[in-house]
């Protein structure tokens, strides 16, 4: 059994895999890390290997605790990956993006794939059917846009995420919801349209914390998979330890 630990900007995801099957997923705040890890260890004593992916700062003792319990693989650009990385600055590429591309190689081999991860940021990553990762784009996510409107203006309120009722907002609240949510939907559909103009056989994956919220609003056909990153991390762990 494998333990996947994904440390994001806000939360930590723990996932337990039996080969390719996801059998447990927990999402906790960083302060709950040690408690959650001990809980998983008791429930799943057969876990031997662990992969740790972190886009934020992680206390050293957290890594030490994991290494005392499991054979730990730290995700970075020096590992083996099942694709050719054509990114000009591979050491600056987010580890979460590497895992997403790896997942696409395993689940959609020999296809042109655009992976869209809608989380704190919206990332777009493209890999060709020749297995070449070319790069993509990084854009502010839903919550970041709401917070930016509030933090960098004098009078706009901070709102909870909500699907706008109409395109034309007839109040400040309605206008913010329309601008943020409709803006992101138009952005994502527009990016997909441009890729499809060049790659007619394009496969599009939508994942991340806001994937379910956004998926039904898009006009383009996509595959929504909220566990795509975790599946990619599990694949990288197996790819590097066999």
Ligand-binding annotation for 68, yes or no, is no
Task: Give CA–CA dist 84/159, Å, rounded.
Answer: 42
Do 190 and 207 meet the contact criterion of CB atoms below 8 Å apart?
no
Q: How confident is the model at residue 56 (pLDDT cuts 50, 70, 90)?
A: low
Identify the weakest region by mean pLDDT among 47-56, 146-155, 174-183: 47-56
84-233 has the same fold as 2-74: yes
Mean pLDDT of 129-137: 96
Report the range of poorest mean pLDDT among 63-67, 69-73, 162-166, 210-214.
63-67
pLDDT of residue 28: 93
Q: Say whether 228 counts as a known binding-site residue.
A: no
pLDDT tens by residue, 106-121: 999 999 999 999 988 9
Q: Are strands 132-140 and 84-85 parallel, antiparallel or unpaired?
A: parallel
Residue 52, pLDDT above cutoff 80 = yes
List, edge to edge, every strand of the sheet that includes 2-7.
Answer: 21-29, 11-18, 2-7, 49-54, 71-74
10 is in an annotated binding site: yes
Query: Would the pLDDT of 141 be above 80?
Result: yes
Model's pTM, two decimal places? 0.90
pLDDT of 219 over the 80 cut: yes
**Per residue in 78-99, pLDDT tens?**
899 999 999 999 888 888 899 9
Average pLDDT, the chain: 93
pLDDT at 242: 78
CATH number, domain 84-233: 3.30.420.40
Instruction: Return the pLDDT at 90.
Output: 86
**Residue 183 in tokens:** 């803006």
Catalytic residue among 20, 76, 96, 132: 96
Q: What is the C-alpha to C-alpha distance for residues 49 and 238, in angstroms, rounded to an integer?
A: 9
Q: Tokens 């890999």 — which residue?
A: 127
Q: Is residue 76 annotated as a catalytic residue, yes or no?
A: no
* C-alpha 46 chain-centroid distance: 27
Per-residue pLDDT tens for 186-209? 999 999 999 999 998 999 999 998
Residue 75: the pLDDT is: 92
What are the boundaries of each domain within the chain? 2-74, 84-233
Check pLDDT > 80 for residue 10: no
Q: Which residues contact 182 (CB under 8 A, 6 or more apart)?
A: 164, 167
Q: Where are the beta strands (DSSP E) in 102-145?
A: 113-118, 121-127, 132-140
For domain 2-74, say whether CATH 3.30.420.40 is its number: yes
- Reading the block at residue 88, the tokens are 């000009």
Residue among 128, 122, 78, 118 nearest 98 (CA): 78
Q: Has 12 been labeled as part of a binding site? A: yes
Average pLDDT over residues 226-236: 95
* Predicted confidence (pLDDT) per residue in 182-192, tens digit: 999 999 999 99
Q: Could you tell me what percent of the chain has a pLDDT over 90?
A: 79
In this prediction, residue 117 carries a pLDDT of 96
């Amino acid at each position: 059994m494998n333990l996947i630990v994904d440390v994001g900007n806000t939360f930590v995801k723990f996932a337990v895999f039996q080969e390719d099957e996801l059998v447990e997923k927990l999402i906790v705040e960083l302060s709950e890390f040690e408690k959650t890890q001990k809980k998983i260890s008791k429930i799943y004593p057969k876990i031997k290997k662990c992969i740790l992916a972190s886009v934020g700062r992680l206390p050293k003792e957290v890594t030490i605790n994991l290494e005392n319990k499991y054979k730990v693989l730290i995700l970075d650009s020096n590992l083996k990956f099942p694709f050719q990385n054509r990114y000009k600055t591979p050491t600056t590429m987010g580890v979460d993006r590497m895992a997403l591309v790896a997942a696409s190689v395993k689940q959609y081999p020999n296809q042109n794939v655009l992976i869209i991860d809608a989380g704190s940021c919206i990332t777009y990553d493209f890999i060709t059917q020749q297995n070449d990762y070319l790069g993509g784009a990084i854009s502010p996510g839903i919550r970041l846009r709401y917070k930016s409107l509030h933090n960098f203006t004098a009078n706009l309120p901070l709102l909870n995420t909500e699907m706008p009722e109409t395109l034309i907002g007839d109040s400040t609240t309605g206008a913010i919801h329309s601008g943020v949510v409709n803006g992101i939907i138009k952005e994502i559909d527009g990016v997909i349209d441009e890729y499809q103009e060049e790659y007619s056989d394009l496969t599009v994956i939508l994942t991340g914390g806001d994937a379910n919220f956004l998926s039904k609003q898009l006009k383009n056909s996509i595959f929504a998979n909220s566990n795509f990153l975790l599946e990619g991390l599990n694949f990288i762990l197996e790819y590097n330890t066999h």
